[in-house]
Amino acid sequence: MVKICLHFHLLILILFLLSSCSMDTPEQIITATVPATPTQSQDGLSAEEVTTLTSLEKLDDHPFYVMHYAGNYEYPQIGSTWPEKMDFACSLFTTLGEGGDMFYGRNFDWSLSPALLLFTDPPDGYASVSMVDLEFLGIRPEDSKNFTDLPLVEKTGLLSAPSMPFDGMNEYGLTVGMAAVPGDYQEHAPYDPSKPTIGSIGIMRQILDHARNVDEAVAIFEQYNINFRGGPLIHYLIADPDGNTMLIEMYQGEMILLPNEEPWHVATNHFRCVAKGDGGCTRYHTLSERLTEVNGQLDAESALQLLSQVKQDMTQWSVVYDMTHGEIDVALGGDFTNVYTFKLNLEHP
């Protein structure tokens, strides 16, 4: 395995440490980074917007980018429109074994699209890191190969990236991800006219910015109607470093809360609130079988190996969040021989 470590967003140093190329003894490439230097406004953009866009770095020809968002951003009440996609099949799990570190693993299985790792630190919320599918910001794969070479004014679509986290972790180690489930949102999503409505992805931004633990995340969910229009019905797996995990599902007009009953939790692409056994999903079976064997105790490398066992041809990224220490491991396109590692400084309550 090649392991590439990037602490924050601007590349300044690459050190090559050579060893073997196996999953057990990885070849490691360590890259240190520092924050972008604040700059002046230009091209009709504010100084913070310029700082944000100039922080963009291309790390991989997938392509895979990293960016640090400077300053505040707006919260869309209604989520962005989902592009039409054909197939999807995501896999998520948490490892919460006693005496071990807490990890959250996730495969994002979708059609080919550029990926962005986004660091945010809003003045009225918590710092976080999240993965964003750039096609959902209108940036097509064929237009994104040399995105860093474009003028700033042609990259302004990236300024909406905070509104579209597909998974992420905040400074308290609270981590959230989602996976599609079958069904019509009009049949399953509850609606209360006294509550505001938020998009199915936008709710994840609220969680990352304002929840320190699973209980606070659930309380935020309870404040909103969730709008799934334009995209699939999804369920959410949320975890915190205290060993709590909650799977949140919208089913037949109710919000169903499914806490972990073991020192681990798993979600794929079927309703767990009505499923029997593994629900007929081989990925769910593989994940739950392995986590049962180890009683919810894995290290980061073993968590990546487990994700590799359930990857699909359409796996766009695989990510492991270390909820205890703040490290984030990312593999692109099902290629687990190259793993990028980042760091988010955690605050422990």
Predicted confidence (pLDDT) per residue in 312-334, tens digit: 999 999 999 999 999 999 999 99
Tokens 């091209």 locate to 43
- Is residue 108 assigned to a domain? yes
Task: Report d(CA 287, CA 264) in Å as an integer.
Answer: 10
- At 117, which amino acid appears? L
- Is residue 349 assigned to a domain? no
pLDDT digits (tens, 9 = 90+) for 190-208: 999 999 999 999 999 999 9
Residue 278's pLDDT is 67
- Angle at which helix 202-210 crosses helix 214-221, to 10 degrees, equals 140
Between the CA atoms of 44, 142, 118 and 61, what dihedral angle is there, to the nearest 10 degrees?
-130
Are 69 and 117 spatial neighbours (Cβ–Cβ below 8 Å)?
A: no
- Is residue 338 assigned to a domain? yes
Mean pLDDT of 334-348: 94
Mean pLDDT of 111-116: 89
Instruction: Please say if the pLDDT value at position 36 is more than 60.
Output: no
Instruction: Please say if the pLDDT value at position 237 is more than 80.
Output: yes
DSSP character string of 254-282: EEEEEE-SBSEEEE-SS-SSS--TTTT-H
Mean pLDDT score of the chain, rounded to an integer? 85
**Could you give the 3-state DSSP secondary structure of residue 161?**
helix
- Is residue 348 assigned to a domain? no
Task: Report d(CA 335, CA 13) in Å as an integer.
Answer: 23
Instruction: Please say if the pLDDT value at position 104 is more than 70.
Output: yes
Mean pLDDT of 217-234: 93
Closest CA to 291 of 313, 311, 273, 309: 309
- Is residue 335 assigned to a domain? yes
- Is residue 145 assigned to a domain? yes
Least confident among 82-91, 215-224, 317-326:
82-91
Per-residue pLDDT band for 100 (boundaries 50, 70, 90) equals: confident
Burial class (CB in 10 A: 0-12, 13-18, 19+), 313: exposed
Q: What is the DSSP letter of 37?
A: P
Instruction: Please say if the pLDDT value at position 8 is more than 50.
Output: no
Find the farthest-apart pair of alpha carbons in the chain and give their distance in angstroms, rounded: 60
The CATH number assigned to the domain holding 188 equals 3.60.60.10
- Is residue 183 assigned to a domain? yes
Are 98 and 324 spatial neighbours (Cβ–Cβ below 8 Å)?
A: no
- Is residue 48 assigned to a domain? yes
> What's the whole-model pTM score?
0.88
Q: How many domains does the chain have?
A: 1
Task: Classify each residue of 18-48 as buried b or exposed e, where b means 16 or more C-beta atoms within 10 Å of its C-beta.
Answer: eeeeeeeebbbbebebeebeebeeeeebeeb
User: What is the domain range of residue 295?
Assistant: 2-343
